[in-house]
């Protein structure tokens, strides 16, 4: 299981075909397979759609939100651990 940390300004997360895509204003920066992803931690100006949140929840992954200069804990969304993620 792994953790994805996003702490860069103006990053957008998108869900497509079983992967989380990482985009910046300059274009696509990479992708992370949803399989094996246990949690995503977000800090700063990060955008994500409900499709990303739904895919993470369905896969049983949690999303943590940090804010401020000291990365203060704000909230956690916990996915459903009893479901599995499948493409399509």
- Mean pLDDT, the chain, rounded, equals 87
Burial class (CB in 10 A: 0-12, 13-18, 19+), 64: middle
**What average pLDDT does this structure show over 3-13?**
93
- Judge whether 54 and 33 are in contact, CB under 8 Å: no
**What average pLDDT does this structure show over 17-25?**
94
- Is residue 19 in a domain? yes
Using alpha carbons only, what angle is made at residue 81 by residues 79 and 86, rounded to the nearest 5 degrees? 85
% of the chain surpassing 70 pLDDT = 90
Model-wide pTM > 0.75: yes
Burial class (CB in 10 A: 0-12, 13-18, 19+), 36: exposed
Count of domains for the chain? 1
| Range of the structural domain that residue 47 is part of | 2-77
- Is residue 88 in a domain? no
């Amino acid at each position: 299981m792994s953790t994805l940390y996003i702490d860069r300004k103006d990053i957008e997360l998108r869900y497509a075909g079983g992967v989380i895509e990482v985009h910046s204003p300059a274009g696509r920066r990479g992708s992370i397979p949803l399989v094996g992803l246990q949690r995503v931690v977000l800090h700063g100006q990060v955008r994500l759609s409900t499709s990303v949140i739904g895919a993470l929840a369905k896969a049983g992954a949690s999303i943590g939100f940090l804010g401020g200069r000291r990365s203060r804990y704000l909230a956690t969304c916990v996915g459903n651990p009893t479901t599995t993620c499948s493409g399509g």
